[in-house]
Amino acid sequence: MLTVENLSVSFVTRMGTTQAVDDVSFNVKSGEITAIIGESGSGKSVACYSLLGLVPQPPGRIDSGRALFEGTDLLQLGESDLRKIRGRDIAMVFQDPMTCLNPYMTIGKQLMEPLRLHGKVSHADARHRALELLQEVGIRDPGSTFDNFPHQFSGGMRQRVMVAMALINEPKLLIADEPTTALDVTIQAQILKLLAELQQRRNIGIIFISHDLSVVADIADQIVVMEQGRVVEHGNREAIFENASHPYTRKLLSAIPTGANPHTVEGGDTLIRVQNLHTWFTENRETVKAVDDVSFEIRRGEVLGLVGESGSGKSTIGRSILRLVPVTSGTVSFDGTNLTALSRSAMTSMRQRMQIIFQDPFASLNPRMTIFDTLAEPLLLHGIENRRSVAQAVLQLMDKVGLARQFARKYPHEFSGGQRQRIAIGRALATRPEFVVADEPVSALDVTIQAQILELLHELGREEGLTMLFISHDLAVVRQVADRIIVLHEGKIVEQAQAETLFQQPQESYTQQLLKSIPGRSIRT
Amino acid sequence: MWRFVGIRLLQAIPVILAVITVTFFLVRVAPGGPFDGEKAVVPEVKAALEAQYRLDLPLWQQYTAYLGDLAQGDLGPSFKYPGRSVNELIASGLPITAELGFYALLIAVLIGGLAGVIASLKPNTAQDYIPMSAAMIGICMPSFLLGPILLLVFGIYLEWLPVSGWGDLPGDKILPAITLGSTYAAYVARLSRAGMLEVLSQDYIRTARAKGLPEWQVVVRHALRGGMMPVVAFLGPAFAGVLSGSFVVETIFGIPGLGRFYVQAAFNRDYTMILGTTVFLSTLIVLFNLLSDILAAWMNPRLRQQFSKG
């Protein structure tokens, strides 16, 4: 149905020309899901957007290639002809349903728009069709939500609306760009299932763009692996997962977190005791019970995994322990000291012993401080080093987290995501803390980088005898690093157990549901 | 929403009270008084005048008496226009100034908004640079310069439009409105360009393009509303600014509006008139800021919902 041959796209800026897509060929058959896999910057999205004229030119430039869609070369079409194909024959679903729907327009209007645009359809017919589709993608009671605005829907519901919007003109090809990356695992599982069902029922072709091989492991028919603008390998699912020949594909496959933490520890005495913790927020005069009566212990030297979907309160627990958010009631004691009763100044000196690593290494480093200053700050603040000795200590810290010493005078924007997370880890470990909260430390990173950072955390943790609270929405990742796991749901603890016990014999139905939602079970077992 | 409005109005009270107090004492600290003229007035007459206008009382008594009158909505008698109250004078000037301000803002939003949107569609090209350079000139060009230039060109050399007056001759409102509106048009152009650029880079614009919408529909249906939010927020302060800043234009074009009274009052040490206009304008500024905040919130569905809840 779609045959792309020798497609090359580059970006021409004042800084020079970048080859984003380099001689890429692939084809998509109707009734099949073709997955395009690659890490950020691999050109996977640009390749697909350029087919539909959605890459702004300039700076974009299509250098060569053909894209035959039912006999027509899309790359030779003018804007007005392409427009007739967009949204009618080829539709798209994007990554972040939070930002991809117009916040100023009701979802009903947005849904009907492509239908009214491409065909002569009356308002009543369009509405009828839109309601039908909403039902089909699993929106309950579409009639009453039709005139709601996007912010009144959850992320998963919005993505369903996006899917309905893409399907409303019965396209022959659907391009889904990371359609589940911004969603919780259980929602991701639902959307993946929905896409697979729709593709079967309607016999359409789907291009599924993703950075994560495990996501497409259960649904893709064909897999195209891209690296730095080039296709390095393509084949059907079995060929890729069982006989990958290119080293990069093998690297991607080995980066998929599989199996358990190989060296679990029992942990020593209790370092942290959380008792009846409540952290409530008031939003628009409504109380949100982010953490609702949670009690647990963390033993010295162990890695406790805290797992839950967005809104489960997992990050709030981490921040409550460090007193980064005000606690409503309950106590947190650290090595016998009740932190919730400490004065501000006493807490400051305690902070040296406990640190946090945040999710987004792009946002959590001060862009106006060099790496040297970022790493030196906690050392000087807590009086661990003086002005003269600090340089040596910073360089040693950089060695420890795997950053070359000559980077010391650079600013955060000069680093990649993985390097920035190394800096953030270095900053957290500077004061030689006993306890570290790692709040989704790898979820903003590419899979191969994710594997490296997990490895680093694991090594450093063992070396320093660190106690860690590892917060993540990704069960496979937690399984790899944690000794013990707590599952959270809506601010309450659902289940806690030794890591492998939890995975082998989950007791609660919510835990079972979470485990079932992990994508790529076919490759993990 | 009423709660929000109520809180904002309560917050306005200390602001306006501070404005009254500062203005009240400042005008009295300034050298000269309302009855000092080139011609010496007989001491008895001056004393009688001062007694009539309560200027013989201690300062704090003048202040409390003024506040008492103000609480009843009475801005007091004018010192320089015997027999006329400040309320009357404001009431006679306000409609003219408000009409002038309305036209000026209309021009500002239409021309500025259009220029900003056009510029935002092709950033960093001639289509962007030309209107934005014009906007820069508009911001830099003071109205006491632009007014006379327009007057000379269109009033005197070309004789297309009348040079002064208000509502006497057809077309005599055009030049003042353009003079007053040009600075605001320039600001609106810059705000709407920035707002549109921000919105046009949003993911939902890409969604709209992926649906196959023609570019003009993408802009009009999907981008315009979000892109104009900064302009809406600017409208309130702009209208207040137009009202209080119109005196230059009113003076150039001989328009009997509020601004001229204000300037004359300052020259004449017409205490009550200065105070009255200041109080009136600062109240308007507070109200218009509130109005534009409400409008901006109402245009945002998420805020509108919160608003209607409480």
User: Residue A54: its chain B contacts at CB < 8 A?
Assistant: 206, 209-210
Q: What is the largest CA-CA distance in chain A?
A: 77
**Residue from B120, B121, B205, B207 to probe the interface with A (highest A Cβ count within 10 Å):** B207
User: Residue A103: its chain B contacts at CB < 8 A?
Assistant: 204, 226, 300-302
Q: Do B100 and B147 share a structural domain?
A: yes
| Rounded CA separation B298/B304 (Å) | 5
Query: Contact B127/B118 with Cβ under 8 angstroms?
Result: yes
User: Residue A80: its chain B contacts at CB < 8 A?
Assistant: 214
The interface pTM score, or ipTM, of the predicted complex is: 0.77
pLDDT at A186: 82
Q: Do B271 and B137 share a structural domain?
A: yes
Residue of A nearest to B225 (CA): A104
DSSP reduced 3-state for A497: strand
The pLDDT tens digits of the residues spanning B106-129 come to 999 999 999 999 999 988 889 999
Q: Do B59 and B204 share a structural domain?
A: no
Q: What is the gyration radius of the CA atoms in chain A, in angstroms?
A: 25
Confirm whether B141 is domain-assigned.
yes
Residue type at position A396: Q
**Residue from A14, A102, A209 to probe the interface with B (highest B Cβ count within 10 Å):** A102
Q: Do B48 and B145 share a structural domain?
A: no
User: Residue A101: its chain B contacts at CB < 8 A?
Assistant: 204, 207
The pLDDT tens digits of the residues spanning A445-493 come to 888 888 888 888 888 888 888 899 999 988 888 988 899 999 999 899 9
Chains A, B: CB pairs < 8 Å: 78
User: Residue B210: its chain A contacts at CB < 8 A?
Assistant: 52, 54, 86-87, 91-92, 94
| Rounded CA separation A83/B176 (Å) | 46
Residues spanned by the domain of B57: 11-27+41-70
Distance from CA of B123 to the nearest CA of A (A): 11
Q: Do A88 and B204 touch (CB under 8 A)?
A: no
pLDDT at A34: 93
- Mean pLDDT of all residues in B62-85: 85
Q: Phi and psi at residue A5, in whole multiples of 5°? A: -125, 130
The pLDDT tens digits of the residues spanning A367-394 come to 889 999 999 998 888 888 888 889 999 9
pLDDT at B37: 66
The pTM assigned to this predicted structure is: 0.80
Confirm whether B5 is domain-assigned.
no
Highest mean pLDDT among A313-317, A362-366, A518-522: A313-317
B interface with A, Cβ–Cβ below 8 Å: 202-204, 206-214, 217, 221-222, 225-226, 299-302, 305-306, 309-310
Q: Do B110 and B22 share a structural domain?
A: no
Residue type at position A410: K
Query: Contact A521/A300 with Cβ under 8 angstroms?
Result: no
Our count of domains for chain B comes to 2
CATH number at residue B232: 1.10.3720.10
Confirm whether B246 is domain-assigned.
yes
Q: Do B20 and B162 share a structural domain?
A: no
Confirm whether B3 is domain-assigned.
no
pLDDT at B22: 92
Q: Do B211 and A94 touch (CB under 8 A)?
A: no
Q: Which two tokens stand for residue A163?
A: 């899917």
Q: Do B211 and A117 touch (CB under 8 A)?
A: yes
Q: Do B65 and B99 share a structural domain?
A: no
Beta strand residue intervals within A344-417, DSSP E = 354-357
- Mean pLDDT of all residues in A339-359: 88
| Rounded CA separation B218/B209 (Å) | 7
Residue type at position A334: F
SS3 sequence of A108-132: HHHHHHHHHHHCCCCHHHHHHHHHH
Of A54, A152, A284, the CB nearest to B209: A54
Confirm whether B274 is domain-assigned.
yes
Q: Do B198 and B252 share a structural domain?
A: yes
The pLDDT tens digits of the residues spanning A394-431 come to 998 898 888 888 888 888 888 888 888 889 888 888 88
Q: Do B136 and B265 share a structural domain?
A: yes
Tally of residues, chain A:
525
Confirm whether B302 is domain-assigned.
yes
The pLDDT tens digits of the residues spanning A135-174 come to 888 888 888 889 989 888 888 888 889 988 988 888 899 9
Mean confidence (pLDDT) of chain A:
87
Does a cis peptide bond (omega within 30 degrees of 0) precede residue A326?
A: no
**Residue from A113, A145, A169, A178 to probe the interface with B (highest B Cβ count within 10 Å):** A113
Of A84, A94, A285, the CB nearest to B212: A84
A interface with B, Cβ–Cβ below 8 Å: 52, 54, 80, 83-88, 91-92, 94, 96, 99-105, 113-114, 117-118, 149, 151-152, 162, 165, 284-285
Q: Do B207 and A92 touch (CB under 8 A)?
A: yes
Confirm whether B203 is domain-assigned.
yes
Q: Do B191 and B54 share a structural domain?
A: no
| Rounded CA separation A428/A464 (Å) | 13
Q: Do B110 and B185 share a structural domain?
A: yes
Q: Do A94 and B203 touch (CB under 8 A)?
A: yes
Q: Do B131 and B206 share a structural domain?
A: yes
| Rounded CA separation B132/B37 (Å) | 49
Confirm whether B1 is domain-assigned.
no
